[in-house]
Amino acid sequence: MKSTSRLGAWVAIAIGTLYFVLPLIATFEFSLKMNRDGYSFEAYKVVLADPGFQATFGYSTLMAVLTIIVGILLVVPTAYWIQLKLPRLRPLVEFITLLPLVIPAIVIVFGYLKLYNSSSWLPLTGNERATDLLLMCSYVTLALPYLYRSVDAGLRAIDVRTLTEAAESLGASWPSILLQVIFPNVKSAILSGAFLTFAVVIGEFTMASLLGRPAFGPYLQLIGANRAYEPSALAIIAFMVTWASMGLIQVFARNARPARKTA
Amino acid sequence: MAYLTINNLHKRFDDHVVVHDFNMSIEQGEFVTFLGPSGCGKTTVLRMIAGFETPTSGRICVGGEDITQQAAQKRGIGMVFQSYALFPNMNVTQNIGFGLKMRKCPADDIKRKVAEVIKLVELTGKEGHYPHELSGGQRQRVALARALVVEPRILLLDEPLSALDARIRKNLREQIRDIQRRLGLTTIFVTHDQEEALTMSDRIFVMNQGRVEQEGRAEIVYTEPATEFVARFMGNYNLLGAADTNRLLGLNISGHLAIRPESIHVLDGHSQQDGTLAGTIRQHQLLGNIIRYQIESAGITLQVDRLNRTASDLMPAGTEVRLQISRDDMREVR
């Protein structure tokens, strides 16, 4: 009975693996066929040398970094304060942070366009820098479910209240408590959230496209519509960025000391 | 004038009153213990003194200064927590030096003071260790050192020994008391352990349901309990109601009569001494240096403690004995 269920589990894993891996292998294999003489990395060379790729990837990377910084500054103090002083608000905040998962990005971006168009009271779509700011804010919104959950899980693993009180009794100010006591002890959780945010922002299409900004997502779509082999190479590159982010999450989670309520 | 005074302190959480009209005054250098069962309000009072809870009403003054509304950071009151509350990202030296760093002390001073206090709590050689690399006793000594190094006006100890095993607890309580005496530090200790309270304290406040049941020197609180609760909580007092007291001793009282188990003398069953009571041993418990007997007399079971000198001292169940209780050892309580 036991061996039958174990066999069933292996079969399920094998089918799942094939389902995920086969299309990737096929995409990778296709991306290597740009030269008719045989397999080569020609498509990758073309893509990496394309100024459009460099510009859009650089732009998205910059937006991702800014999103992470603003997101952390917003989420960590909020999650900390809710855990410490307002635990009753936790369900409400969790609900709010989940909204970006249930409201389609296109609905959010149309809302932005309606609210911040050039004839509105706050015309953020009126110039490029202001639109970048609006895009970054929209990315913060999109990243909220991932970032908040990571940070909240990290804060739950330590005894926030007692550590805060210990620091207070030693004369620490609120910024010192946050920067020297809380941040270092939820560092791996913050980094996990940051890498997830990076992966989300790098591949995001809807917001950037509808706000007309030169991000990597719209570039992927543009190349996909006009070229044959380069889109496959780009898809593999995008996957590698995501995997690298996931791998870094694992590395930081493993290197973090075992979670202790208080040491 | 007392160093720490608390007047009419009151704390309510929603509809639940946790501390009722709490009053106390402590002299500088005194070691005071709040003793009571879980939920009696002792930790809440401590947290209000530390500044972690705001009183619903009342006043807390230290050295004549009203600190009731002052932020915890500004009170200069050190606290040691039951769960140690060491910062996991900092090693022993960094944990201990944290308070001095917050006070912007020069680096040389921090180094010197941290070294001194590490020596005081006997943690030399552990300077670079992180909290997870230390034992429970060592962690609590780091927590103590961290609180001491900033030279607090008052040191608060919130059940600091309850997470430790018996041997370490005994050693550490002696060490804490010794350090407190040497530094002349005004200290408030919270515990639910009577033995800890009796061995460490100058004065004990026995608390129950948010009120002080009795306050006084350790030996007085133990030998002269004021209420039935204190008698029950402080030891294994025999507590007799009015009817039982009358039946056993022929005395008329209105409350309860408290008799300490060690104050009842057990005489030979054939003793003809006046004023003794006939009794029969029902069972016994061996408590190391003490044998605790359950002796029935006039249908009432009394606990009686005798020193366990030799194996032949042990009296088996069924032995007929005579009990002698001095009037001075009987205490009427509310």
Nearest by CB to A257, which of B78, B102, B132?
A: B132
Chain B CA closest to residue A259: B88
Enter the DSSP assignment of B84: -
pLDDT reported for residue A259: 44
ipTM: 0.83
- pLDDT of B253 over the 90 cut: no
Nearest by CB to A171, which of B84, B99, B143?
A: B99
> What are the φ/ψ torsions at residue A37 (nearest 5 degrees)?
-70, -25
Question: For the CA atoms of A161, A163, A164, A166, what is the dihedral angle to 10 degrees?
Answer: 120
Write the pLDDT tens digit of every residue in B27-78.
999 999 999 999 899 999 999 999 999 999 999 999 999 999 999 999 999 9
Cβ–Cβ of B150/A168 closer than 8 Å? Answer: no
- Rounded CA-CA distance B84/B135 in Å is 11
Cβ–Cβ of A262/B98 closer than 8 Å? Answer: no
pLDDT digits (tens), chain A, 263 positions? 567 778 899 999 999 999 989 999 999 999 998 888 889 999 999 989 999 999 999 999 999 999 999 999 999 999 999 999 899 999 999 999 999 999 999 999 999 888 898 888 888 888 889 999 999 999 999 999 999 999 999 999 999 999 999 999 999 999 999 999 999 999 888 988 998 899 899 889 999 999 989 999 999 888 888 888 888 998 898 888 888 888 887 787 676 654 445 55
Residue A179 touches chain B, beta carbons under 8 Å: no
Domain B4-233 has CATH 2.60.40.10: no
- The two structure tokens encoding residue A185: 């002890």
Enter the DSSP assignment of A85: T
pLDDT reported for residue A262: 53
Say which CATH topology domain B238-333 has: OB fold (Dihydrolipoamide Acetyltransferase, E2P) (2.40.50)
pLDDT reported for residue A150: 92
- Residue range B243-269: mean pLDDT, rounded: 87
Interface of B with A in 137-176 (CB under 8 A): 139, 143, 146-147, 150
- Domain coordinates in residue numbering, chain A: 49-253
Give percent above pLDDT 90 in chain B: 56
The label of the residue with tokens 């740009």 reads A34
The upper half-sphere exposure of residue A104, i.e. CA atoms within 13 Å in the direction of its Cβ, equals 4
pLDDT reported for residue A14: 94
- Rounded CA-CA distance A135/A147 in Å is 17
- Residue range B259-283: mean pLDDT, rounded: 86
CA distance B77 to chain A (A): 6
Nearest by CB to B87, which of A171, A181, A258?
A: A181
Residue B88 touches chain A, beta carbons under 8 Å: yes
pLDDT reported for residue A258: 46
CA distance B196 to chain A (A): 24
CA triple B21-B72-A80, angle to 5 deg: 110
Nearest by CB to B150, which of A171, A181, A257?
A: A171
pLDDT reported for residue A255: 65
String of DSSP letters for B33-53:
EEE--TTSSHHHHHHHHHTSS
Of the candidates B174, B150, B158, B135, which has an alpha carbon nearest to the alpha carbon of residue B44?
A: B158
CA distance A169 to chain B (A): 5
- Domain coordinates in residue numbering, chain B: 4-233, 238-333
- Rounded CA-CA distance B300/B34 in Å is 33
Enter the DSSP assignment of A88: G
pLDDT reported for residue A2: 66
- The two structure tokens encoding residue B257: 């009569």
Sheet order of strands, B65-66 included: B16-26, B4-13, B57-62, B65-66
Cβ–Cβ of B84/A263 closer than 8 Å? Answer: yes
Please say whether the beta carbons of A193 and A117 come within 8 A: no
Please say whether the beta carbons of A146 and A196 come within 8 A: yes
Residue B14 touches chain A, beta carbons under 8 Å: no
Interface of A with B in 184-213 (CB under 8 A): 184-185
Residues of B in contact with A176 (CB under 8 A): 102
pLDDT reported for residue A76: 93
Residue A177 touches chain B, beta carbons under 8 Å: no
Enter the DSSP assignment of A180: I
B133 alpha carbon, distance to own chain's centre: 30
Write the pLDDT tens digit of every residue in B173-195.
888 998 899 989 999 999 999 88
Residues of A in contact with B150 (CB under 8 A): 170-171
pLDDT reported for residue A257: 53
CA distance A263 to chain B (A): 5
CATH top-level class of A49-253: mainly alpha
Chain B CA closest to residue A188: B89
pLDDT reported for residue A256: 60
| B225: confidence class by pLDDT, cuts 50, 70, 90 | confident
Cβ–Cβ of A165/B86 closer than 8 Å? Answer: no
